[in-house]
A = this chain, B = another copy of it.
Amino acid sequence: MIDVPTLVEQAREGRPRAVARLISLVEGASPQLREVMAALAPLSGKAYVVGLTGSPGVGKSTSTSALVTAYRRLGKRVGVLAVDPSSPFSGGALLGDRVRMQEHATDPEVFIRSMATRGHLGGLAWSAPQAIRVLDAAGCDVILVETVGVGQSEVEIAAQADTTVVLLAPGMGDGIQAAKAGILEIGDVYVVNKADRDGADATARELNHMLGLGEARQAGDWRPPIVKTVAAKQEGIDEVVEALEKHLAWMAGNGELAARRVRRAAQEVEAIAVTALRQRFGDVHGDKHLDALARRVADGELDPYAAADQLIAAVTG
C-alpha cells in the first residue's frame, strides 16, 4: 500500500516524483484514488487549465512547448498533461515527439506527464480531471492539457479545460474536415500555426468565415481570436498567452469560469458513479447476470430494454 498522506504532502511541496506517482495512480485507476482525491480536494481549484487540440501535424507538441517557455518567462509554474486516448488497446502512450518537451525536462517549475487512458470510453471524463487535480495541488499556475491522437476524444479533452485552444495549420485539409472533427464549436482561442508557410492567411480567412466572426454578436459575448504563430520559432506565442489571459479575465468576470468548473466536476462525478454502477452490473450474481441476460437478447428471447430493466432492478433493488 502507498502512504497516501505522505505522497500528497510531497506533491504539495512540488516534488516531481510524488506528482508523477500520483498521476500513475490515476492512470492505473488505483483503488487508492478515492483516498488521494479526498486529500487533494481542498488543495485544488487554483490552476488555470488550458486545453490544446487540433489534427495531427498542426504542431500541437511544439506549440505546447512554446507556451511552456512563454509562461516560464512570466514566472509561472507550469504543468503539462499529454493525454493519449486514441488507442484503447496498446495500453501505452505513443509519444513519439515528446522529445520537443525535453528542453523543459530539467526545469523544477515544469511538470510534464503523459497519460494513456487505456480501456473503456468515457475514461477521460474522470481521469483527466483527477490528473489535473494532482498538478493543481502541486502548485501549478497553468496546466496545459494536450491530446495525442485523433478523433472525438479531443472534444472530451476540451470539456476538461477552462479555455480551449484549437490549432490549425495551412494546407491541413479543407473546412469539411475541420467541421467533421467538431473542433469549430469548441475553440475559445484559435491558432494558425506554421504561419510562415503558404496559405496561412487563406486558412485564417476561411476560419474567420466558418466561425462567423464577421457576424454581429451580443455585447459581452466572447469573440474567439485567431492568432498566427510559428511555434518552432516562438513567434506569436506571447500573443496566444495574451489571448488566454483575456479569455480567463472575461470568464472570471461573468461567472463563466465557475460555471465551466462546475460542469467539469459534474461530468467527473457522473463518470465515477457510472463506473461504479457498471462494476455493480458485473458483480450482480457473481458476474453472470449481465452475461445471462445478454445470451437471451442474442437469442431473440428478450429485448434489450427489458434486459436493461432487469439489470437495473438487480443493481438498485
Contact = CB atoms under 8 A, between A and B. Distances in A.
Interface stretch (A188-196, A206-214, A248-256, A294-302): A294-302
Interface in A250-280: 258, 261-266, 268-270, 272-274, 276-278
A305 B272 contact: yes
A90 B132 CA distance: 29
A41 B303 contact: yes
Interface residues of A, number: 75
Chain B CB within 10 Å — which of A290, A307, A308 has the most?
A: A308
B90 A182 contact: yes
Interface string A184-206: 01100000000000000000000
Interface string A41-81: 11111000000000000000000000000000000000000
A40 interface: yes
Interface in A128-163: 129-130, 149-153, 155-156
11 contacts: A37-B303, A37-B305, A41-B301, A41-B303, A86-B180, A152-B153, A262-B295, A264-B298, A268-B294, A269-B290, A272-B308
Given A264-B298, A270-B308, 11 more contacts: A40-B303, A41-B304, A45-B300, A86-B152, A88-B152, A90-B180, A130-B304, A263-B294, A265-B293, A272-B308, A315-B316
Interface of A: 33-34, 37-38, 40-45, 85-90, 94, 96, 121-122, 126, 129-130, 149-153, 155-156, 176, 179-182, 185-186, 258, 261-266, 268-270, 272-274, 276-278, 281, 290-291, 293-295, 297-308, 311-312, 315-316
